[in-house]
Amino acid sequence: MGRDDDDELRALVDEHARAAYRVALAIVRDAALAEDVVQETIVKVWRNLDTFREAGSQRGWVLRIAHNTAVSTLRTIRDVAHDPTTMPEVATAIGPDRRATGRIAMGALDGALAAMDPISRSVVVLRELEGLSYDEIAAALELPITTVKTRLFRARRELAIALEDWA
């Protein structure tokens, strides 16, 4: 790759890696796996950048690839090991002062996320963390808008129950 390509790739990573990571981590629930998903997502995006012709935003396109890659990764893992309790503990970026509280909360959060299907996890992240509109989420995940809304209501409810001590 030339210097221009390097700069363009770096710009792509800087713009999308964090959002892709949040979507991936919500689905695969493992920090190292989520980073692998992000790398694979960026590689796919990079190699198909010239063919991007979608009516929606590039962000939505990237996050859809991240979602699909994460779901595919999760399926592969489940094929290899059916027992979800063998999955590694979720790594977090919680600071030292909040680590103790965070660990307890992470248990509840991880349980709540585990109880949701991958699509619901993505809906929560895309809406609550990435701020996408219902239309954008529906386009990114290729779902009817009513399904997006229903999944979001259910997901919020499940998280509220799991995290009521921290809400």
Compose the 98-137 pattern: x for residues touching another protein by CB under 8 A, - for all others: x--xx--xx--x--------------xx--xx----x---
Helix 145-162 and helix 99-115: axis angle, to 10°? 140
**Least distance between another protein and beta carbon 64 (Å):** 18
Q: Which residue lies nearer to another protein by CB, 49 or 55? A: 49
**Least distance between another protein and beta carbon 162 (Å):** 9
**Least distance between another protein and beta carbon 151 (Å):** 10
Compose the 36-75 pattern: x for residues touching another protein by CB under 8 A, - for all others: x-xx--xx--x-----------------------------
User: DSSP letters of the chain?
Assistant: --HHHHHHHHHHHHHHHHHHHHHHHHHH--HHHHHHHHHHHHHHHHHTGGG---SS-HHHHHHHHHHHHHHHHHHHHHHH---GGGSPPPP----GGGHHHHHHHHHHHHHHHHHS-HHHHHHHIIIIIS---HHHHHHHHT--HHHHHHHHHHHHHHHHHHTTTT-
Q: What are phi and psi of 10, to 5 degrees?
A: -60, -40
Q: Which residue lies nearer to another protein by CB, 80 or 131? A: 131
25 binds another protein (CB under 8 A): yes
Candidate residues 8, 31, 77, 119; the one interacting with another protein per rule CB under 8 A: 31
Candidate residues 70, 90, 116, 126; the one interacting with another protein per rule CB under 8 A: 90
Candidate residues 77, 87, 94, 119; the one interacting with another protein per rule CB under 8 A: 94
Q: For the chain, give the number of residues.
A: 167
